[in-house]
Amino acid sequence: MPTPYVHEALKWASSFLENAGREKEIGYILLSHHAGWSRAQLLAEMKSPLSDVTAALFKEDVMKAGTGIPVQHITGLETFYGRPFRVNPDVLIPRPETEELIEAVLARLPAAGPKVADIGTGSGIIAVTLALEVPEAEVTATDLSPEALDTARLNDYAHGTKLRFLQGDALMPFIDAGETFDVIVSNPPYIPEADRSGMNTNVKDHEPSTALFAGKDGLDVYRRIIHQLPHVLRSPGLFALEIGDGQGEIIQQLIKEVFPEAKTELLLDINGKERIVTAGV
């Protein structure tokens, strides 16, 4: 980087990242992070000089991003539903599509002051967001990974939501305790193993495989949760899942096998892809 001015630093970063096959937007994110500026401030400071320290840290992290390390792992943060969340290699990086799962749940809550369980919470984005959006809700979050739960606890503390956390597979922690809920929500792993080789390296090499892949057809975890659901979901109750494109019909069938009278809905995301299945029981 020849001189530490904002516009020159960004020009260098954009060229470097494009040559590495990465998005040039990463440069803006990293410079905002190191300079402590909002995007608007960054744009207003285009002709301002950077300190040598900021310029050096920025260059180092741009080069890391060029190797495929997700920018969220470099900054340690990602925004979800307008709020910052801590992320790391132990948890899935939040996707914008999951915000639509939140919207689906909020629009269909079956009770006032609902008791909610988030299965496979990861970084805790769903549980924390629902607790903030529905302050009267009692929210519990589970995950099989103790490292993921540690990250979720950090986000819980940062947002002051005071969630309850349990470690365990699918709904087993609740079945063992004889506990029931008004709402069960989950964004489980749903990618078929056969898709692994064709995925972007910054996803498959840097995010936890247990949060991405779920057997030959991607449905292993759905089958487990749905099979256990009658022991945990109250009636009336709501079950809401994020799914992979093309999985909607079979997941609705699996739900109907367990709850023949359930009212299921398949929702498309903003890109027109199958993304959410809800079931009212």
Domain count, the chain: 2
What's at 69, amino acid-wise? I
Residue range of the domain that includes 140: 92-280
Average pLDDT, integer, range 168-187: 96
Question: Does a structural domain hold residue 128?
Answer: yes
Instruction: Report the C-alpha gap between 77 and 86 in whole angstroms.
Output: 5
Q: How confident is the model at residue 34 (pLDDT cuts 50, 70, 90)?
A: very high
Looking at the predicted structure, is the pLDDT value of residue 270 above 90?
Answer: yes
Q: Which segments are annotated as binding site for substrate?
A: 187-190
Question: How much is the pLDDT for 219?
Answer: 86
Question: Is the pLDDT reported for residue 225 higher than 90?
Answer: yes
Q: Residues annotated in the binding site for S-adenosyl-L-methionine, as ranges?
A: 120-124, 143, 187
Q: Are residues 102 and 210 in the same domain?
A: yes
Give the CATH number for residue 111.
Answer: 3.40.50.150
Q: Which of 167, 80, 71 is nearest to 125 (CA)?
A: 80
Do 71 and 97 fall into the same domain?
no
Closest CA to 185 of 240, 226, 114: 240
* 247 and 194 within one domain: yes
What's residue 218's pLDDT?
76
| Residue 272 confidence (pLDDT) above 70 | yes
127 and 213 both lie in a single domain = yes
Distances (CA, A) of 174 to 110, 137, 150: 20, 17, 20
Average pLDDT score over residue span 59-81: 96
CA nearest neighbour of 262 among 277, 275, 276:
277
Q: What is the mean pLDDT of the chain?
A: 92
Mark 154-177 as b/e (b = at least 16 C-beta within 10 Å): bbbeebebebebbeeebbbbbeee
Domain presence at residue 176: yes
Q: What is the pLDDT of residue 1?
A: 47
Q: Looking at the structure, do residues 66 and 180 belong to the same domain, yes or no? A: no
Q: Does residue 85 form part of some domain? A: no
- State the pLDDT at residue 211: 56
Distance between CA atoms of residues 259 and 263, nearest Å: 9
When pLDDT is averaged across residues 4-15 and rounded to a whole number, the result is 94
Average confidence (pLDDT) over 100-107: 98
Q: How many C-beta atoms lie closer than 10 Å to residue 41's C-beta?
A: 12
The last residue of a domain, from among 20, 44, 75? 75
Average pLDDT over residues 18-37: 95
Residue 204 has pLDDT above 60, yes or no: no
- Residue 206: its pLDDT value, please? 60
DSSP state letter for 136: T
Express each pLDDT in 240-260 by its tens digit.
Answer: 999 999 999 999 999 999 999
Strand segments (E) across 171-272: 181-186, 233-242, 263-268
Beta pairing class for 274-280 and 263-268: antiparallel
Residue 84 pairs in a beta bridge with 79
Name which of 64-73, 106-115, 208-217 the model is least confident about.
208-217
Known binding residues are 120-124, 143, 187-190
Q: From 280, 278, 221, 236, select the one nearest 100 (Cα to Cα).
A: 278
Cβ pair 230, 236 in contact under 8 A: no
Judge whether 144 lies within some domain: yes
Q: Where are the alpha helices (DSSP H) in 37-180?
A: 39-44, 52-66, 71-75, 97-106, 125-133, 146-159, 172-177
CA–CA separation, 242 and 120 (whole Å): 12
Do 266 and 248 touch, CB atoms closer than 8 A?
yes
